[in-house]
Amino acid sequence: MAIDFSKTVKTPAAAPVPKEETEVIEQYDIVADREQMNLALVNSAEVDAIVSTVEINNLDTIVSFGAEAAEEISKASDVILNSMNMSLLDDTSGMLKTLAKIMEKFDIDEIQDNPGLFGKLFGNMKKQLDKILAKYHTMGEEVDKIYVQLKGYESEIKQSNQKLNQMFESNVNFYHELVKYILAGEQACKEIEDYIKQRETDMANTGDNSIQFELTNLNQALMMMEQRTQDLRTAENVAMQSIPMIKTMEFSNYNLVRKINSAFIVTLPVFKQALAQAILLKRQGIQAEAMAELDKKTNEMLMKNAKNTVEASKMTARLASGSSIQIETLETTWRTITSGIEETRRIQEDARKKRIEDQARLEAIKQDFNRQYHMPQKRN
């Protein structure tokens, strides 16, 4: 029996037993840990030492029983809540939304082959390409900024995991202390119950009614001890929820770091590289189409020049193969000349005949004039 019922004043508490370092494994089974502690601590000297701090006639020892361990569990829970409030999930979620908005600027139609795109770009290809490149260059810069920020978050998350691991170890230690007080409380209640039965037997055997006052105090102490033990069990339940919660937060952080490494260290560079390749390939395609169009125009021009050259050569050959003055032309000219000569001769002959006729008529007129005016005729 650990409780000294003969004491009327509080005895000094037993020296605290040094805590053993708890090895925290990655998969922590709190139920198995609790069962192991029951086997190791029930009716142990360590629990007896804790029970010995309870004084029946000093109810303050019952009221404050296990208070330190319970308070530490409460503080650990507060730290968890504060860590959740200060977590980077909200900020990271906001940055992911920002990244999503940046990705929405990516218009695949600007990169994909489009029958109408060449017609748009051929007339002003450099201006259109510069516009597309400027847009995606700006988008790349915005992605780079988020990438740098998320790398900073990755470092902070790793530091947070270190703190969570320390918190986990501390919480497990506090939980172990709490379980010791619960076992000690259960043992104290059993000892008080046994002592009450003993005193009831003593009162029945001796008929000493003064024992009734002691029994009233004992029952009051038992009720308070039972209530205090129940309070510690409630605190234990909080601890049982807090410890897995810490590990859950730690694993969530690891998953977030993994996601950052996957999405923002692998996916983004690959996306940017693919984007750059798509733009360059599209530019090459546009330039190739432009060169093909140039080749087409050049070929058309060469064919037209060749046709004109053939026509000119044929004309030159025809000119070179004959005389500058065609026989037909000479014949026509000769006929024209001879006809003109003949016509001239005919005109001259007609004119000569006309002069002879005119001369005869003039002579007749002259003779008629002389007759009328008795002019002497000219002698030959």
Task: Render pLDDT for 297-336 as a digit per residue (tens, 0 to 9).
Answer: 888 888 888 888 888 888 887 777 766 667 788 788 888 8
**Residues paired with 58 in a beta bridge:** 55
Taking 50 as the threshold, does the pLDDT of residue 138 lie above it? yes
The band of 248, judged by pLDDT with boundaries at 50, 70 and 90, is confident
The band of 190, judged by pLDDT with boundaries at 50, 70 and 90, is very high
pLDDT at 377: 59
Other CB atoms closer than 10 Å to residue 31's CB: what's the count?
8
**For residues 97-105, average pLDDT:** 63
Q: Collapsing DSSP states into helix, strand and coil, what is residue 55?
A: strand
Q: How buried is residue 73: exposed, middle or buried, by Cβ count under 10 Å (0-12/13-18/19+)?
A: buried
For residues 214-241, one letter each, b for 16 or more C-beta atoms within 10 angstroms of the residue's C-beta and e for the rest, the string is beeebeebbeebbebbebbeebbebbbe
pLDDT at 182: 92
The band of 132, judged by pLDDT with boundaries at 50, 70 and 90, is low
For residues 265-304, one letter each, b for 16 or more C-beta atoms within 10 angstroms of the residue's C-beta and e for the rest, the string is eeebeeebeebeeebeebeeebeeeeeeeeeeeeeeeeee
pLDDT at 41: 80
- The pLDDT mean for the chain works out to 76
**For residues 213-226, average pLDDT:** 92
pLDDT at 73: 65
pLDDT at 251: 83
**For residues 55-84, average pLDDT:** 76
pLDDT at 316: 81
- Two tokens at 321? 């193969």
246 alpha-carbon distance from chain centroid: 30
Taking 60 as the threshold, does the pLDDT of residue 121 lie above it? no
**For residues 177-182, average pLDDT:** 90
Q: How far, CA to CA in Å, does 208 sit from each of 7, 168, 204, 221, 349?
A: 21, 55, 8, 21, 200
Predicted TM-score (pTM) of the model is: 0.52
For residue 55, report the phi and psi dihedrals to the nearest 5 degrees: -120, 120
Most confident of 75-79, 177-181, 266-270, 365-369: 177-181
pLDDT at 314: 83
pLDDT at 100: 64
**For residues 260-269, average pLDDT:** 70
**For residues 93-109, average pLDDT:** 61
Q: How far, CA to CA in Å, does 330 sit from each of 158, 176, 324, 335?
A: 112, 137, 11, 8
Taking 60 as the threshold, does the pLDDT of residue 137 lie above it? yes
- Two tokens at 113? 């082959």
The band of 38, judged by pLDDT with boundaries at 50, 70 and 90, is confident
The band of 108, judged by pLDDT with boundaries at 50, 70 and 90, is low
Taking 90 as the threshold, does the pLDDT of residue 66 lie above it? no
Lowest-pLDDT range, 105-114, 139-148, 208-217, 274-283?
105-114
pLDDT at 103: 61
Most confident of 3-7, 54-58, 156-160, 222-226: 222-226
**For residues 171-198, average pLDDT:** 90
CB 58 within 8 A of CB 221: no
